[in-house]
Structure 1
Amino acid sequence: MSILKTTTAWSGPRVAVLAVALAVLYAGVPLVFGQNLYLMSLAVASLTIAGVALAWALLGNLGGMVSFGHAAFFGVGSYISALLTLKAGWPVFPAMLAGGVGAATASLAMAPALRLKGPYFALAILAYAQIFRIIATEWSDLTGGASGLSSIPGLPKVAGFDFGSKSGGYLVVLTLVLMFAAIYARLRGSHVGLALRAMHESEDATRVVGVNSVMLKLAMLMLSALMTGLVGAFNAHYINFLEPDYAFNASWAVVPIIAAICGGYRTILGPLVGAVTVYLVDQLVLKSLLPTGHQIVLGILLVAMIIVSPAGLTALRFKRTRRGVYAAS
C-alpha cells in the first residue's frame, strides 16, 4: 500500500516538471534565443554532442562495452544520408533514417570484436573507425574522396516551417536526443535491461540460464550505432558539407566520452547535462581565454571530475540533496 502511495505522490510532480521542461525546451529557448544565431548554433552543436554521448553511455552502461570508435557510426550515417539525397534524390528526413539504419548495419562488421573485453574491445572499435575513414577517402567515385561532398541538401520546410533555420535545426536535434533518452529509459526498465545488468555481474551465469550474451551485446551495439548514425545524418544536412577527416574525426568519439563521464554516464540525464555544460564552457569561456589549445583544459576537467566525483555532475547534485535531507532530519 505504501508503495502505491509513493508512486502516486511522485507521479503528479514528475509529470508537471516534465511538461514544464518540454515547454521551456521546445518553446522557451527558440522564443528567447531564436534571433541570436550564434547562441542557437551553440545549442545545436551541444545537443549534437549530447546525442552521441547518450548513445555512447547506453552502450557502456547497459551493454557494458567501452567504445572509442563512435566516430565510425557518425561518419557512416552522415555519408549514407548525404549520398541518398545528392545522388538518389531522397527526401532529407527518410534519408536521415536510412543513415541511422546504415550505421546500425555497418556495426555488424564489428560483431567479431564482441568477444573481446575491456580495452581490447575499445581498441578494436577504434580500428574499425579508421577503416571506415579510409574507405570514405579512397572510394572517391562515390564519396568525393578527400575533397568531400558539398551542397548537401539542407533540412526541408514542412507546413511552412523551415527546419533548415537555426531554430528548426535545434528542434530536430532536440527531438532526436529526447527520443534517445526515452528509448534508453524504457530499455533500462525492461526485462532486457535486467538481463544486461545480470550479464555485467556474471556473463557465464547468464549463459547458464539461457541468456545469449553475444546477441544482447550485438543488439546494444546496433542500437547505439543507430542513434549515432541519426545524429551524424542530421549534422550532414545541417552543415551541408562532408569530408572524411571531419565525418570520421576522433573528436566525435572523444568529446562525447568526456561529456558523458563529466555528466555521469550511468544516468540518462548525465550525458545530456555533461554535453551541454562541457561544450558551452569550452566555447564561451575556455575558447576566449585560450584561443589555441583550449581543449587541453577539457582533459584537465575530466581528470578533476574523475577524482572529485567519479559518477559525474549529476551525482554531485544528488549528494547535496541527501546531505540536505540528513541535515533537516
Structure 2
Amino acid sequence: MSAESEGVTLPASYQGDAAPVRSTAGRHLRRDWLIFASLMGLGLALPIGQGGFTLYLGCIVAFHAIAALGLQVMVGLAGQLSLGHAAFVGIGAYASILLEKRLGLPFPVACLGAVAAATGAGLLMAQLIRLSGVYFKIATFGFGVIVHQILTNWVPLTGGTAGIRGVPPIGVGGFQVTTRLELFLVEMAVLALVYAALLRLTHGRIGRAFRALGQDEVAARSVGIRTDRYRVAAITIGCAIAGLGGSFMPHVFRFVSPESFTWHESLLFLIMITVGGLGSLPGAVIGATLLVVLPEYLRDFAQYKMLAYGVLLIAALAVMPRGIAGQAARAMNAVERLRRVGSRP
C-alpha cells in the first residue's frame, strides 16, 4: 500500500529511483530484468564451468547474496540502518539446523521454520522504531549483541562456542543434495526466486513507498505515507530474507558456530550493499560476490582484512557514491541518451 492507494499522490521526486516517472517505469523494469538474467547466467556459468574451489565459493556467495538482499531492503530502500543483520542470518542458520537435527524435519520445512524465526525476531527488533535517529541504530547493534550472546551461552541448545557439527544433507522429498554442485544449484534457485520477488516489489507501490521513506521520512509522512507501518514492513522483510539465507549456511560449511554472527559480519553485510550500490538489487549481489571472493584470493594478507574492508568502503564512497551498480546504471543511461540523440532525424 502506498500514499496513492490512501488517496494521496506522491510528488515525482518520491516515485523512486527505478520509476521516477510513469513513462519510463516499463523501460527501467525491462532493464532490471535483463540485469537479473545476466547476473544469474554469469553466476551459474563461472562456478559450474570451473568447479572445485570456485564452485565452493559460489555456494558461499549465494547465501551471502540472499542475506545482503534482505539488508538492501532495510537500508538501501527504506533507509532503516541495521547494525545487527548478522544476528538474523544466525537465527536462520541455527533454527534450520536444529529443526533438522533435533526434530528430523526435512530441509524445506526447516527452512520455513528459519524464516519464521527470523521474521519473529525482526518484528521484535522493529519495535525499536520508537527510538529516533542514532538511538535506533545503536539499539540494532545491541540487538545483534544480545542474539550473539544467546547463541554463545545457551549451550544445551546451540552447543555454545563449540557450535553444531554433523550437518545432515539437504533432503527434498526423496531426493538428497549430496554434492556441492547440487547444493549450489539449489541456492541459486532460491536466490533467483528472492531476487525476482524483490524486483517486483521494488517496482510496485510498496517499493515506491519504501524509497520515499528512505529518501526523506518527514516528507514521506507529509504526503500521507504511514511511515511506521512501512518501517516495520521493511525491517521484517529484510530479517526474514536474512533468515532464509542463513538456513543454507550450515550446509555449505558443514558446521555452524556463534563466531560467524558477530558485529564484524554485520559490518561486512553493510559494506557489501554500500560498495555494490545502496538501493540496488544487483548491487547487493555484486557486493556480496566481491566481498566474499576477494579475501579468498588474498589469504596471505588475511590479518589486514578489516583494514582492507575499511579502505574499500571509504574509496567506494569517495569515488563511487552510488556504488558499482550505480556507476554502471549511469553509464548505461549515458549510452542510451547518446543512442537516442543519434537516432533523431
TM over 0.5: yes
Q: Deviations over 1:144-184 (max 9, x none)?
A: 22322221222236665x52422122112222222222222
Comparing 299-308 and 54-63, the one that deviates more: 54-63
Judge conservation of contact 1:155–1:238 (CA < 8 Å) in 2: no
Judge conservation of contact 1:282–1:295 (CA < 8 Å) in 2: no
Alignment match, 1:287: 299
Comparing 199-208 and 103-112, the one that deviates more: 199-208
2: distance between equivalents of 1:106 and 1:326? 46
Residue 292 of structure 1 and its aligned partner are, at CA, apart by 2.5
Residue 310 of structure 1 and its aligned partner are, at CA, apart by 0.6
Q: Cα distance 1:174–1:321, how it changes in 2: closer, same or farther (>3 A)?
A: same
% identity of equivalent residues:
26
**What is the TM-score of this pair, normalised by structure 1?**
0.85
Alignment match, 2:6: none
Alignment match, 2:268: 255
Residue 326 (structure 2) pairs with residue 311 (structure 1): no
Residue 89 (structure 2) pairs with residue 77 (structure 1): no
Q: Cα distance 1:165–1:88, how it changes in 2: closer, same or farther (>3 A)?
A: same
Residue 17 of structure 1 and its aligned partner are, at CA, apart by 7.3
Residue 123 of structure 1 and its aligned partner are, at CA, apart by 1.5
Which residue identity does 1:274 align to in structure 2? G
Residue 141 (structure 2) pairs with residue 126 (structure 1): yes
1: distance between equivalents of 2:172 and 2:184? 14
1: distance between equivalents of 2:97 and 2:70? 21
1: distance between equivalents of 2:24 and 2:119? 40
Helix, strand or coil for the counterpart of 1:156? strand
2: distance between equivalents of 1:37 and 1:154? 19
Residue 195 of structure 1 and its aligned partner are, at CA, apart by 2.5
Residue 311 (structure 2) pairs with residue 300 (structure 1): yes
Judge conservation of contact 1:70–1:253 (CA < 8 Å) in 2: yes
1: distance between equivalents of 2:35 and 2:221? 41
Alignment match, 2:9: none
Helix, strand or coil for the counterpart of 2:82? coil
The alignment's C-alpha RMSD in Å is 3.1
Q: Cα distance 1:167–1:113, how it changes in 2: closer, same or farther (>3 A)?
A: same
Residue 170 (structure 2) pairs with residue 155 (structure 1): yes
Q: Cα distance 1:88–1:207, how it changes in 2: closer, same or farther (>3 A)?
A: same
Judge conservation of contact 1:65–1:117 (CA < 8 Å) in 2: no
Residue 45 (structure 2) pairs with residue 32 (structure 1): no
Comparing 95-104 and 36-45, the one that deviates more: 36-45
Judge conservation of contact 2:96–2:247 (CA < 8 Å) in 1: yes
Task: Give the alignment partner of residue 144 of structure 1, picking from 132, 153, 159.
Answer: 159
Residue 188 (structure 2) pairs with residue 174 (structure 1): yes
1: distance between equivalents of 2:279 and 2:23? 28
Q: Cα distance 1:20–1:245, how it changes in 2: closer, same or farther (>3 A)?
A: closer
Judge conservation of contact 1:104–1:225 (CA < 8 Å) in 2: yes
Which residue identity does 1:99 align to in structure 2? A
Residue 6 of structure 1 and its aligned partner are, at CA, apart by 8.5
**What are the equivalent positions in structure 2 for 1:1-329 lying under 5 Å apart?**
22-23=40-41, 25-26=43-44, 28-29=45-46, 31-33=48-50, 36-156=51-171, 162-200=176-214, 203-204=217-218, 206-207=220-221, 211-246=225-260, 248-284=261-297, 286-288=298-300, 290-324=301-335
Judge conservation of contact 1:157–1:164 (CA < 8 Å) in 2: no
Judge conservation of contact 2:151–2:160 (CA < 8 Å) in 1: yes
Which residue identity does 1:53 align to in structure 2? A
Judge conservation of contact 2:69–2:195 (CA < 8 Å) in 1: yes
Residue 9 of structure 1 and its aligned partner are, at CA, apart by 8.7
| Number of equivalent positions | 320
Judge conservation of contact 1:51–1:228 (CA < 8 Å) in 2: yes
